[in-house]
Structure 1
Amino acid sequence: MERKDNGRLEGRTAIVTGSTYGIGEAIAKVLSSEGAISIITGRTDEEGERVAEEIKSAGGAAEFHHLDVTDEKEVDEVTRATYEKYGKIDILVNNAGIAGPNKPTHEYTREEWEYVFDVNVTGAFLCTKHVVPYMKKRGGGNIVYISSIYGIVGAQDIPAYHATKASNRIMAKIDALLYAKDNIRVNSVHPGFIWTPLVKDFLTDQSENLGGTIEDLRRELDAAHPIGHIGEPNDIAYGVLYLVSDEAKFVTGSELVIDGGYTSR
């Protein structure tokens, strides 16, 4: 993605968790295209370095830090290193997450259930915990939780994932109330079906269990959306860009649904 001239985030520092692929990668690239310094984080070093290099090749600013959001020591190290280098942390996007097993609730082991919560909920908590003090020093900031449409409505699959996304939705509202006085805005974004590895894996699983080709299932999924197709990672990235920009200065505690009309039926 080429650097743009608008500069809506010029000079701001943005930590994007889980930004080595998919939606997180798109968010990091869009923010950098508008002038932000994107701190790429994730557990796959090779992919993280790739994303950072692609941003820099396009004229943006970025660097990669290895980060497992469930490891508080690593979270502290990455946030501290970012603050010490740039003197501020303006934006945090809590995007890192896993789907977990796709089976009924009663078939989960406790360990399986808790691991999904550890990554998706506790990981987001740890990042917010360590970023907020730096934002307060700065005099403000923006936090975005990447939730899901299934943080608002129910579904008959991956129950732990959906439960964590409901948690992310409420975490954003709580933080919005707690930190409004500190000029820290907090919102949640709720993607519908976006063509990412998670959705590809979902269709692969459906194909194996129910039959039919992935291509046929993709067409059925496209047709289920009033707009006629599922989304792309950039559709979410531009929603995040709006929320962390000055154009959204009166927006906090809100939930931005980006789903092609899927949940409007």
Structure 2
Amino acid sequence: MTAKTALITGASSGIGRHTAIALSKAGWNVVITARRQEALEETRDLCANSAACLLVAGDITQEGFVVGLFSQSIAKFGRLDLLFNNAGMSSPQKPIEEWTLDTFRKVVDVNLTAAFICTREAVRQFKKQSPQGGRIINNGSLSAHVPRPFSYAYTMSKHAIYGLTKCTSLDGRSHNIACTQIDIGNTATDMASRLGQGALQPDGRIVAEPMIDVEHVANMVVHVAGLPLDVTVLELNIMPTTVPYVGRG
């Protein structure tokens, strides 16, 4: 049986890296991409089968790079079965009047525009390959539903990802394309570690919030990725049991 192929963005660290490793251990071919070549090489070396791992470093906010990324993936492995839109960046916490348009656009480009471009290219491939179909998993956030204080660009981009997820699920279902959004809260990665040290609450307090191991997130992605395409998990979340999410603040 031919191994399935997954393309993972933001695979140089954190959730992307651990998901690439977990999928590799589960027997998948993996295509890993991010900006940092050396960090991607570290991810590749941690995978179960480095020969079944294609590394392509570059900027996924650039349309030309993404088109080439998908072409290289198909040339290497023949088809695509999963896109994990994982790459993202946080935004500075400050009142809206202190935001510059340039900072806003940088966050939206990484968190939303890149996911749109990658989704477009994945859907193109899913429709034309045989057998037709594939799965997309979008890394959302608890902020796709409720904001943290002073989090305009990040929260807006993650709300928009929820729209991308639902549009892809709707338009993809007649082409055997499934789409899931996984909303992750307080995972112990470099990007989110500050929350475990102290996070600003709506009432102004700084509170150290609980964290979960990133392996739980990676295992969840592997589980959803392994479902047959006639099964869709539209949305799910994974977070510490005691995180202040339901009734924040």
Q: What is the TM-score of this pair, normalised by structure 2? A: 0.88
Q: Identity, % of aligned pairs?
A: 27
Question: Residues 18-33 of structure 1: matches in 2 within 5 Å?
Answer: 18-33=10-25
Mapped partners of 2:10, 2:174: distance in 1: 29
Which consecutive residues of structure 2, in runs of 5 or more, have no partner in the other structure?
none
Query: What amino acid maps onto 1:231 in structure 2?
Result: I
Paired position in structure 2 for 1:187: 180
My pick for the range that moved more, 159-168 or 170-179, is 159-168
Range moving further from structure 2, 168-177 or 234-243? 234-243
* Conserved? CA contact 1:56–1:62, under 8 Å: no
Which amino acid in the other structure matches residue 143 of structure 1? Answer: I
**Counterpart amino acid of residue 125 in structure 2:** Y
Pairing partner for 1:161 from 154, 166, 184: 154
Does residue 239 in structure 1 map to residue 231 in structure 2? no
| Partner in structure 1 of residue 69 of structure 2 | 78
Q: Which residue of 1 aligns with 2:106?
A: 115
- Offset of 1:247 from its aligned partner? 5.4
Distance 1:141 1:51 in 2: 24
Count of residue correspondences: 240
Could you tell me which residue of structure 1 aligns to residue 235 of structure 2? 255
Please tell me whether the aligned partners of residues 80 and 134 of structure 2 are also in contact (alpha carbons under 8 angstroms): yes
Quote the Cα distance in structure 2 between the aligned partners of 1:130 and 1:175.
12
Contact 1:13 1:91 in 2 (8 A): yes
Question: Quick check: 1:64 aligned with 2:55?
Answer: yes
**Gap runs ≥5 in structure 1:** 1-6, 223-229
Distance 2:48 2:25 in 1: 10
Q: Distance in 1 between matches of 2:205 and 2:94?
A: 17
Shift, 1:132, TM fit = 1.1
Structure 1 residue 199: deviation in Å? 1.6
Match of 2:38 in 1: 46
Which residue of 1 is the match for residue 83 of structure 2?
92
RMSD, aligned α-carbons: 2.3
Greater than 2 Å deviation, 4+ residue runs: 200-207, 246-249, 260-265
Contact 2:134 2:229 in 1 (8 A): no
